[in-house]
């Protein structure tokens, strides 16, 4: 069931996709990695575009590992443009299809989290967890318990992937990464926040590449 407090998470292309790692054609096995206490349910509710569900699972887990999330319960739903248009209209009053929408259900810090509520707080490093390729997270979800839902359009990914020169699967993975980052506490409403969001997207994509190597 969707939470009415939807997070507007439209992914906006800033033209920097050429700087992202290329893991086209790599084989992923999410069961070969220890990702911690993450419960991820991925559902494909469209039939127009073939979907690599393991690839999306790796994308989600890469975000959670890069952001040092303590635990997560996430539902990822892949839909077509018609369904995401309806959700965008009903929950955000935007009468058009979009690429990704997030519904944040919970974001609670555990008692051992050393960060305060300052959105500009930074972490000293990744500790014993995955070493983040693009530096440490900004403290938005370190040691937090998060729960939420991400809905992304595979049809939109197929329409837009040509601009970046990569596959629809990679475009869709980026939408999912973007949506999960919103649940982790990031937004892109200001130029500074957009820069931080792109850095965290980059960190997750590079961690995906490491998983594949």
Domain annotation covers residue 31: no
Domain annotation covers residue 15: no
Identify the band that residue 24 occupies on the pLDDT scale cut at 50, 70 and 90: very low
pLDDT in tens, 150-178: 999 999 999 999 999 999 999 999 999 99
Q: What is the CATH number of the domain that holds 53?
A: 3.40.390.30
Domain annotation covers residue 7: no
Indicate the number of domains in the chain: 1
pLDDT recorded at residue 210 = 87
* Residue-range definition of the domain harbouring residue 88: 36-112+119-212
pLDDT recorded at residue 138 = 67
Domain annotation covers residue 6: no
Beta bridge mates, 144? 109
pLDDT recorded at residue 178 = 98
pLDDT in tens, 169-206: 999 999 999 999 999 999 999 999 999 999 999 999 99
Identify the band that residue 132 occupies on the pLDDT scale cut at 50, 70 and 90: low
Which has more pLDDT, 54 or 13?
54
Q: What is the Cα–Cα distance from 13 to 24, expressed in whole angstroms?
A: 19
Q: What is the Cα–Cα distance from 106 to 145, expressed in whole angstroms?
A: 7
pLDDT recorded at residue 106 = 74
H or E, element range at 42: strand 38-44
Q: What is the pTM (predicted TM-score) of this model?
A: 0.77
Domain annotation covers residue 27: no
Domain annotation covers residue 105: yes
Domain annotation covers residue 12: no
Which has more pLDDT, 98 or 23?
98
Domain annotation covers residue 5: no
Across the beta sheet with 71-79, what order do the strands follow? 6-8, 100-109, 144-153, 71-79, 38-44
- Checking if the pLDDT of 129 tops 60, the result is no
Task: Report the chain's mean pLDDT, rounded to a whole number.
Answer: 80
Count of all residues that appear for the chain in the document: 213
pLDDT recorded at residue 212 = 73
pLDDT recorded at residue 108 = 77
């Amino acid at each position: 069931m969707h939470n009415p407090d939807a997070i507007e998470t439209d992914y906006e292309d800033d033209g920097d996709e050429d700087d992202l790692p290329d893991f086209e054609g790599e084989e992923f096995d999410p069961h070969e990695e220890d990702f911690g206490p993450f419960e991820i349910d991925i559902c494909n509710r469209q039939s127009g575009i073939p979907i690599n569900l393991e690839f999306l699972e790796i994308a989600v887990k890469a975000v959670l590992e890069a952001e040092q999330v303590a635990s997560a319960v996430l539902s990822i739903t892949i839909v077509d443009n018609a369904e995401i248009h309806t959700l965008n209209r009903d929950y955000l009053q935007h009468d058009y299809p979009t690429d990704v929408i997030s519904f944040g259900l919970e974001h609670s810090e555990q008692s051992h989290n050393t960060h305060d509520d300052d959105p500009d707080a930074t972490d000293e490093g990744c500790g014993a967890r995955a070493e983040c390729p693009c530096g440490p997270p900004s403290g938005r979800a370190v040691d937090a318990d998060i729960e939420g839902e991400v809905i992304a359009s595979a049809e939109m990914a197929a329409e837009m992937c040509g601009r970046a020169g990569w596959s629809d699967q990679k475009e869709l993975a980026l939408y999912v990464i973007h949506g999960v980052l919103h649940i982790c506490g990031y937004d892109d409403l200001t130029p500074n926040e957009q820069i931080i969001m792109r850095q965290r997207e980059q960190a997750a994509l590079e961690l995906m590449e490491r998983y594949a190597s």
